[in-house]
Structure 1
Amino acid sequence: MSDELSFNHDAVLLNEAVAAVLGVKSLPNNDNESLQVSGIYVDATFGRGGHSRLLLSQLADDAQLIVFDKDPTAISVAEQLASTDSRVKIVHDSFATLTTSLAAMGITQVDGLMADLGISSPQIDDGSRGFSFMRDGAVDMRMDTSRGQPVSEWLEQVDGETLANVLYEFGEERHSRRIARAIKAMDSYTSTLELAEVIKVAHPNWQRGKHPATQSFQAMRIFINNELGDVESFLQQSIPVIKAGGQLAVISFHSLEDRLIKQFLQRHSKGQYPEDENLPIRPDRPRYFGKPKRVGPSKVEIATNPRSRSAWLRSATRTDAVANVLDSENNK
């Protein structure tokens, strides 16, 4: 198995995300300067630690940084960082366990919470992980290789209709049924290149500049890791976890994730129930967040790191409405 520690990863929207989670417009231009911010912060997707390291450089000595990741190799990198910086605490689990994992540390609220969703460059570049259709490897695609079912086993068991639904729902693949039939006709699922070739042959309409297996691989990865379910749970937990005046900053890379974040922040910053809720009178709800902000990568970043081109950073400040609501509910 390849050693992922040798793969490079450029953190996307690095300065922008760290500035957002700290609630400042920008970071000091001088590398020798630091904001020296106190408090408790969470990097919910440590990856290879790019965002965490920059955040640590702006935190005071009495601050804490809790890092989450499902990937065992990412946790190994985090352990190296924690061995040299006592402010770092590690959670080897999904950010969907945010509330319970923090509670186990005696933490109920934090000053800032950030996440960089999706998969990292090392995970893509390491063929043995099975995320890439450009490199051969086992059809695995699990973020956490220590638990759960690899995609190869799932494909052996799943029926064609369910597979087609997954490809359509999580990959937005218009030709899902045709591709699902071709996949189910395969003798085995041991090679990512073979799987990608079967999808390529079955796909009737290739989009220029995009591999025909892109959406199908995305769909299987998202499904097997319950990525959208974890994001929804994480966002809901952010409401009571972030202190009044604290910050939420989330980077996404595809439309399904970005839509969840956008709708969540819109809903909880406008202080109203969704229009489709079946209520005779829709009462106002507390505004949990201030007006959301959205930032994309610069032309310079896209030129130096093409994988950043689809990224969006959405951020917002948590208002004091949450504390008031929780207090009133607790006093009932």
Structure 2
Amino acid sequence: MRILLTGGSGLVGSNILEISGNHSHEILAPRRTDLDLTQYSSVLKYISDCKPDIVVHAAGRVGGIQANIASPVDFLVQNIDIGKNIILASHSLGINRFLNIGSSCMYPKGRQDPLTEDMILAGELEPTNEGYALAKIMCQRLCQYISRDPNYQYKTIIPCNIYGRYDSFLPPKSHLIPAIIYKIHKAVQSGVQNIEIWGDGLAKREFMYATDLANCIFECIDRYDSLPPLMNIGLSEDFTINHYYEVAAEIIGFDGFFVHNTDMPVGMRRKKVSTNKQIAWGWRPMFSLNDGIKLTYEYFLSTING
């Protein structure tokens, strides 16, 4: 099977490519210099030339809370342009299978119960990443509308938060776990005894090691007909931000103190996706939190020492 993968240099795409040797598929993963996803004509020509059997859409402008707050226009407009171009070009050229990778940011804020797939557009979005979330919702709905034609199966998976190898560790682009690894490592190296945590640290988040998501995506491709049109991908458990700091501190060797800054934004108090559909479909992740953070820290060390 020939797969066109967008975002091959990003976190998800890089992990897909890293394990692609375990699978028999041919993967085309053009770099930004080879394919500008913001230009519809370029996207149309590339797909016409390569004729993929399926498109896996993992590209997008991503970043943590700081980046989203600083550039909401870019996060909205660029992700809308990228999403609509790849989806509409694929549809116009008769590509009948399209796997869209969404984000748990698509769900309403303030929900303490696990987020089920039918909650999209059921409430107000978290303001700190609203632009990104709106773009992702647009892509999911566009896939849903196209799939009303039985000749097309445009499906969306919504992973929980992802971290791992090939992550971005430098602020302000980093997400929570790579940011924690960076902060604690720097503190250990410089002998700092106090590390600041935004908020009270009691907000809960669900993070999956990126290799698990990559494995799941290949499973989705191989069992595409049985894949639900919209499905969450998660761990079935979440942890407090304080816990992520504690686990990383133990792995990295930090024995100082954490100081909470309650004046800073923390986003949603809880964001855990329901995995009922995923479990019924028959897939579960393999990596524990401790193993995932340890492997991610080893990768981080290789990037600064290599």
- Answer yes or no: same fold by TM over 0.5: no
Whose Rg is larger? Answer: 1
| Higher RCO by CA contacts (8 Å cutoff, separation 6 or greater) | 2
The TM-score normalised by the length of structure 2 is 0.31
Query: Could you state the TM-score of these two structures normalised by the residue count of structure 1?
Result: 0.29
